[in-house]
C-alpha cells in the first residue's frame, strides 16, 4: 500500500514545522510504505497534514484513494476552511479529545484520536537530579511565550535562573524587571538537541493558558520534557514542591516511565494503519 503525506511544510514551501516532524516524519521512520508526497505521485492513501482547500474547493476530491485530514491545531480559529476540507475527506485524525469533540460538530466523517508521540529510540537514560532547585526552562514557539508571564513572580521570588528555548527570543524582560531575575538566557530551539538541552535544567515550567486555542492543545511539550527527565509544573505550588532533588527525582521517574510506555511514535503508526483499515472496510 502506498501512503503519502501532503504536509503543511510542503504545501506552504516552508521548512519543516514541529507538527510535520511529530505527526509525519517520525512515523515515516517506522513505516516503509509511508513517504512525504511529491507532486504528481499517485497513492492509495493521502494524508493531508494541516493542508486545507483554498480557492479550488474541489481539488482534494480529484485525488484518488483514501483521503485523511490530520489536524493538530484548532486552525478554524485562524479562519482556515476546516469544514470545507472535511467534506472532501474520508476521515480525520487529531491529537486530543477536545479537538475530536469539536470536529464531530463539523462532520459526520470518522474521527480518530492519535496523540502526538515521540521517537523513543532517541531518548537518553533518565537523568539524576542533584542539588536544590536552581534553574527552570520554558520552551515553545515565541508567540506562545506569553503563557510564561504568570510564572515570572514565583521565578523571581525563588531566585531561579530562567532559560527560554524557542524559535526566537520572546523578550521576557518586557514582562519583568531584569534586576529581579537571577539570570535569563535564550537558547535557539534545535530538534536534534532538544532532549539534551532540556535535561540541563532542574524543572520545566509550562503554565496552563486560558486562550480559546489552549483547551485544544496537545500535551507534546509536557511529554517531551518528561522524556528529558524533567518534572513539569504549571503553577507556584507545584514549583515549590520541587525544591529538593529527591522530590524532582520521584516525579521525574514516574513521568519518564509513563512517557516511554504511552508516547512511543511506533504506536502512532499502528493507530494510523488501524484507521486506514477501518476506512477501507467502510468503502
pLDDT digits (tens, 9 = 90+) for 113-161: 999 999 999 999 999 999 999 999 999 989 888 889 889 999 999 999 9
* pLDDT score recorded for residue 230: 98
- Residue 189's contacts (CB-CB under 8 Å, 6 or more residues apart) are 139, 165, 166, 167
Domain ranges in the chain with CATH number 3.40.50.2000:
3-117+264-282, 121-262
Tell the CATH superfamily of the 121-262 domain: Glycogen Phosphorylase B; (3.40.50.2000)
User: What pLDDT, on the 0 to 100 scale, is given for residue 56?
Assistant: 61
pLDDT for residue 10: 83
Q: How many CB atoms within 10 Å of residue 203?
A: 25
CA gap 169, 172 in Å, rounded: 8
Stretches in the chain below the pLDDT threshold 70: 55-61, 283
Place of cell 502512532: 268
Q: What fold does the segment set 3-117+264-282 form as a domain?
A: Rossmann fold (3.40.50)
pLDDT at 8: 87
The pLDDT of residue 43 is: 93
With 0.85 as the threshold, say if the pTM is over it.
yes
Amino acid at each position: 500500500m502506498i501512503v503519502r503525506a501532503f504536509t503543511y511544510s510542503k504545501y506552504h514551501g516552508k521548512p519543516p514545522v514541529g507538527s510535520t516532524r511529530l505527526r509525519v516524519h517520525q512515523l515515516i521512520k517506522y513505516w516503509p510504505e509511508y513517504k512525504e508526497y511529491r507532486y504528481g505521485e499517485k497513492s492509495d492513501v493521502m494524508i493531508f497534514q494541516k493542508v486545507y482547500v483554498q480557492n479550488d474547493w474541489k481539488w482534494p476530491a480529484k485525488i484518488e484513494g483514501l483521503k485523511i485530514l490530520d489536524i493538530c491545531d484548532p486552525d478554524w480559529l485562524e479562519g482556515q476552511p476546516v469544514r470545507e476540507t472535511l467534506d472532501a475527506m474520508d476521515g480525520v485524525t487529531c491529537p486530543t479529545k477536545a479537538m475530536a469533540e469539536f470536529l464531530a460538530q463539523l462532520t459526520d466523517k470518522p474521527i480518530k484520536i492519535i496523540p502526538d508521540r515521540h521517537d523513543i529510540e532517541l531518548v537518553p537514560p533518565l537523568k539524576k537530579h542533584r542539588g536544590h532547585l536552581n534553574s527552570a526552562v520554558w520552551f515553545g514557539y515565541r508567540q506562545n511565550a506569553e503563557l510564561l508571564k504568570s510564572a515570572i513572580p514565583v521565578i523571581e521570588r525563588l531566585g531561579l535562573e530562567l532559560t527560554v528555548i524557542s524559535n526566537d527570543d520572546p523578550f521576557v524582560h518586557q514582562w519583568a524587571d531584569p534586576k529581579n531575575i537571577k539570570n535569563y538566557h535564550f537558547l535557539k530551539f534545535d530538534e536534534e538537541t532538544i532532549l539534551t538541552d532540556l535535561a540541563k535544567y532542574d524543572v520545566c515550567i509550562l503554565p496552563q493558558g486560558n486562550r480559546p486555542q489552549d483547551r485544544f492543545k496537545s500535551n507534546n511539550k509536557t511529554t517531551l520534557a518528561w522524556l528529558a527527565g524533567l518534572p513539569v509544573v504549571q503553577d507556584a505550588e507545584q514549583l515549590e514542591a520541587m525544591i529538593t532533588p529527591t522530590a524532582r527525582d520521584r516525579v521525574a521517574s514516574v513521568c519518564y516511565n509513563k512517557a516511554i510506555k504511552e508516547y512511543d511514535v511506533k504506536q502512532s503508526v499502528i493507530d494510523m494503519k488501524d484507521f486506514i483499515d477501518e476506512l477501507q472496510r467502510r468503502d
